[in-house]
Amino acid sequence: MVTDQVAFVTGAASGIGRQVALRAGLEGYRLVAVDRDADGLAEAVRGFEARGVTALAVVADVSEPDALEAAAQQARAVHGRIDLVVAAAGIEVLGTVADLDAAAWRRSLDVTLSGTFFTARATIASLIETRGSFVAISSDAGTTGAQGYAAYAAAKHGVVGLVRCMALDHGPAGVRSNVICPGFVDTPMARRLFDSSPEGTEEFYRDAIPLGRFATPDDVADVVLHLASSRYANGVVYALDGGSTAGYFVSGDAA
Ligand code: NAP
């Protein structure tokens, strides 16, 4: 159990961020739950409370640097410290270079890449004080290409580069920075993608995973908490994809 430490989690209203926040709270962290979706956040916090976890809910858009500064300030004012930062807020933007317009490209980078940077920038001084830990949620599209996801993959590659630099820049001050690259995780984001894709898309992607299933938010939370407590992990780019980026894989009878 963790005692007296504070976890600051973005994207905490839904999916991965929500489960990471709950698990961190159950682990003993005092929780600061950040999201732009006020109603979703309020509902998530009620769910946390039903499990005995209290959270400071802060509505903020991670693409707005001032909002992140205010959120981190509020966390420090209430709890006095920040020990673990998890940057999970992100959006799915689909399209190729031929069909993405400038606004969609910018939105992807603003939220997914700049949002991670603004989260890090607003909390790094606190993490230096506590010799804390930063964990970003990138994607398998942060280390490989992803057909039809040019803006998303570019943003997620940027997140990997950003976190690697943080590991070098702030490791000497005792801050550990790591990034998780999940394949598909069964969350509202993944459901939206499958629901708007041609029939068979979900099965196609599932068949490409050696472990034969999508990740759950709990699978991601396991790794976040492991990286947070692992005293020597710094600059880790953690592929959490059931083996799908390990090499060529052909499932079932076709193998
Ligand atoms: P999700 O269910 O859509 O949850 C994301 C949460 O972040 C939502 O509450 C969302 O609010 C919030 N958010 C989005 N933009 C924000 C912003 N600008 N400021 C503050 N909050 C914002 O998605 P998820 O699947 O949990 O994804 C979490 C992270 O994991 C994302 O970075 C995603 O790219 C990454 N990831 C997901 C998968 C997957 O298959 N699910 C795989 C690899 C990586 P709204 O509902 O208002 O947008």
pTM, rounded to two decimals: 0.98
* Per-residue pLDDT reduced to its tens digit, 128-152: 999 999 999 999 999 999 999 999 9
| 184 Cβ below 6 A of ligand 1 | yes
- Please determine, for residue 173, whether its predicted confidence score (pLDDT) is greater than 70: yes
Residue 232: active-site member: no
Is any ligand 1 atom within 6 A of the Cβ of residue 63? Answer: yes
Candidates 152, 232, 238, 248; catalytic one? 152
Residue 97 CB coordination number (10 Å): 9
Secondary structure of residue 141 in the 3-state scheme: helix
**Looking at residue 1, what is its pLDDT?**
87
Kindly indicate the confidence band of residue 252, based on its pLDDT and cuts at 50, 70 and 90. Answer: confident
Portion of the chain with pLDDT greater than 70, in percent: 99
Ligand 1 pocket, 185 CB below 6 A? yes
Q: Which atom of ligand 1 is nearest to the CA of 138?
A: 44
> CA–CA distance from 93 to each of 105, 141, 148 (Å)?
8, 12, 9
CB 224 within 8 A of CB 21: no
Residue nearest to atom 37 of ligand 1 (CA): 185
CB of 47 shorter than 6 A to ligand 1: no
* Ligand 1 atom with the shortest distance to the CA of 193: 40
The residue type at 175: V
- What stretches of the chain show up as alpha helix (H) in DSSP? 15-26, 38-50, 65-79, 102-108, 115-130, 150-170, 188-195, 201-207, 217-229
pLDDT exceeds cutoff 80 at 20: yes
Q: Does ligand 1 lie within 6 Å of residue 111's CB atom?
A: yes
Per the prediction, the chain carries an average pLDDT of: 97
Task: Give residue 140 CA to ligand 1 midpoint distance, Å.
Answer: 15
Which of 10, 23, 34, 36 for a ligand 1 pocket mutation test, highest count of atoms within 8 Å of Cβ?
36
182 lines ligand 1 (CB under 6 A): yes
Structure tokens given for 94? 């689909």
Give the type of residue at 147.
Q
Residue type present at position 127: L
**Domain-by-domain residue ranges, the chain?**
6-240
d(CA 155, CA 163): 13
Could you read off the pLDDT of 84-96 as tens digits, one per residue?
A: 999 999 999 999 9
Tens of pLDDT, residues 33-66? 999 999 999 999 999 999 999 999 999 999 999 9
CA of residue 154 to ligand 1 center, whole Å: 16
End-to-end CA distance of the chain: 44
| Residue 224 Cβ < 6 Å to ligand 1 | no
CB neighbours of residue 4 within 10 Å: 11
Write the CB contacts of 73 (distance below 8 Å, at least 6 apart in sequence).
none
* pLDDT, tens digit, 9 for 90 and up, residues 98-130: 999 999 999 999 999 999 999 999 999 999 999
* CA–CA separation, 36 and 62 (whole Å): 8
Q: How far apart are CA 121 and CA 119, in angstroms?
A: 6
CA of 11 to the centre of ligand 1 (A): 6
Per-residue pLDDT at 2:
84
Please tell us whether the domain made up of 6-240 is placed in CATH 3.40.50.300.
no
Instruction: Pull the structure tokens for residue 219.
Output: 């699978």
Asked if residues 32 and 81 have their Cβ atoms less than 8 Å apart, the reply is no
- Tokens (6 digits) for 169: 């820049």
